Structure 1
């Protein structure tokens, strides 16, 4: 019998979430962000599920784009970080990719290159995130240089990234938006600004394109959920089983260091899942799980291959009982990956992308 841990991927839920993103901005097009192996969900499988809906995909690097092309994906693919060395331009051209340009060396490499057909370029502007991108005043000159080089670049866009679109305080977000809109107006340029939280809650930032990412996978990126984000459906269910049960007397400890001790006579279930599978070792006592669709709590430190949960209030739970670490249980009850992340003092992105290769992915829906 195989180890019972698996990640069930609901491709119909993925499609639902994409449509939700698309419908928030009917005047925009939504590029589906698939970087980091589709946030841990499987790059090619997710692209195939969205191929008839999404007009384009976005990834972080050339290797991810190559994986999509090798998987038969013909749709446009955006390289969000552009190239990492000038030699990659040959592959960008051969694969028919779109690319971000965020630095002077990328700009010079592209202007020096002689492609058989021009490369679609999205100029990355640092409107306040202070990671990648040209300062707004510099971006204007970059735009004009690329516009004057039609043999190298075509279909120019401006893009930027928000630092605080998920926050309730919108002051800094408003400043970033204003900078980008002013620049776009001067240049007559199409804009791509909105990430997942801005897609869900900041319609003033919706441009020619939006870039929904984590919301596609059912995670609510907002600091305070809104009626739209509450409609997101979980795509990944990390599912396992109870593999052993222990009866503990008052005062008996569980796990490494004895962090959790029984305050009453307790039943402890051992679950086949641990940090060697990507479950966060920092999960605190009390982190929720679903056992046969009912809530239970983590009891003790997460081990490499196992974790332990308190089954005392679930007398029917036993060896073989379904355990959902996040996602949707067989009875329809759901446990948000966002809630689990809060108990781990992290974010859903790290949990989803952290599920390791030894956990098999099983895909459902989107036939």
Structure 2
């Protein structure tokens, strides 16, 4: 079988979850939306359920997949519901639900829900995606209470630039949140992964670790908590062909790389159809039989080329780590002009193998 595969280290996953808890002293919803950022939502949730305070997903389809797999822990719908008739499923499966828009509030007021809901009321504190305007936040809170259909309300917002350690925007958003929620008696949830790691001044009874759960840093510079993360996914494959090329020979589509001396080129069973970023340029790091080397030329759909010139022991069957414990996904993403969130989520066709350590 094709040797490309993704190894998922469940021990590292649990370490990162516990780090989020210990760093903040807060309860933590493990964010497993988008198939746990490409890591496999069901297996990730099963690995964490014994210690997790709950999980967060984008939509009801993702939540139902977890319930059908036997996950009984709380599950928060981060985008809430998209149609009013989803409220019946929310009640049936005891999902927690974000309310971010007036129409959702009105749907709850008019629905026959059967039992009270656990609502996370979202404020637009400055990111300007979804959430109530600050002037409408307290009235929305009061209407939810008055509806008689809510068991608990958690106050929440989301930060747009918490991954920028020198930006004042997070403090500005916090001030907006504190003004809009003044006097409301409820738990709060403000901290995503970067805020969990780097913004201790931001209060949060609940944190929402996402990218940090999978061991990748959201920052473009060293950060003390990020340095303690353990990569969860190792994307690897093998060398399936070796070429000895003289100087002046082009490699791959478009001839973007031309040998400047006699070189040994390894062809690896990995390409953009597997989720490896096509934009990754020559020089992007790889690990070949434990030794650092580099990508050469353009990434193809199913294959890419690496430099074996200075790895004399490498040849057919040599193991190649594309990212993982030694080649950080964040470094690959930076070289490719993207972020680790995207390269994880783009993983496809590659079988995931789960292990402990």
Under TM normalisation by the shorter chain, which class is it? over 0.9
Structure 1 residue 183, shift from structure 2 partner: 2.9
Residue 305, structure 1, aligned to residue 267, structure 2: no
Counterpart Cα distance in 2 of 1:137 and 1:154 = 24
8 A Cα contact 1:39 1:353, kept in partner: yes
**Cα distance in 2 for residues equivalent to 1:231 and 1:93:** 39
For residues 251-270 of structure 1, the aligned pairs below 5 Å read 251-270=248-267
> How do 1:35-54 and structure 2 match up within 5 A?
35-54=33-52
Counterpart Cα distance in 2 of 1:214 and 1:349: 7
Distance 2:313 2:204 in 1: 53
Distance in 2 between residues matched to 1:348 and 1:64, nearest whole Å: 21
Structure 1-normalised TM-score? 0.96
In the TM superposition, residue 106 of structure 1 has moved relative to its aligned partner by 0.8
Residue in 2 that maps onto 1:76? 74
Pairwise CA distance, 1:227: 1.6
Which residue of 2 is the match for residue 187 of structure 1? Answer: 184
Local SS of the residue matching 1:187: coil
SS at match of 2:165: coil
CA contact 2:137–2:181 (8 Å) conserved in 1? no
Partners in 2 of 1:93 and 1:189 — Cα distance?
A: 21
Q: Deviations over 1:51-90 (max 9, x none)?
A: 0111110000000000000000000100000001111111
Q: How does 1:218-367 map to 2 (within 5 A)?
A: 218-328=215-325, 334-356=326-348, 358-365=349-356
**Per-residue deviation, residues 113-141 of structure 1 (Å, max 9, x unmatched):** 11111110011110000001011111111
| 2:166 corresponds to 1:169 | yes
Q: CA deviation at 1:283?
A: 0.7
User: Alpha carbon RMSD of aligned pairs, Å?
Assistant: 1.0
What does residue 331 of structure 1 align with?
none
Partner SS state of residue 245, structure 1: strand
* Counterparts of 1:266 and 1:193, CA distance in 2: 52
1:340-361: per-residue Cα shift (whole Å, max 9, x none)? 00110000011001001x2100
List structure 1 runs of 4+ shifted beyond 4 angstroms: none
Partner SS, residue 191 of structure 2: coil
Deviation of 1:170 after TM superposition, in Å, equals 3.1
Please give the alpha-carbon distance, in whole angstroms, between the structure 1 residues aligned to 2:181 and 2:166: 24
In the alignment, is the contact (CA less than 8 A) between 1:15 and 1:50 conserved in 2?
yes
1:6 Cα deviation after fit: 0.3
CA distance in 2, matches of 1:49, 1:302: 34
TM-score (norm 2): 0.98
- Paired position in structure 1 for 2:118: 120
Per-residue deviation at 1:178? 1.4
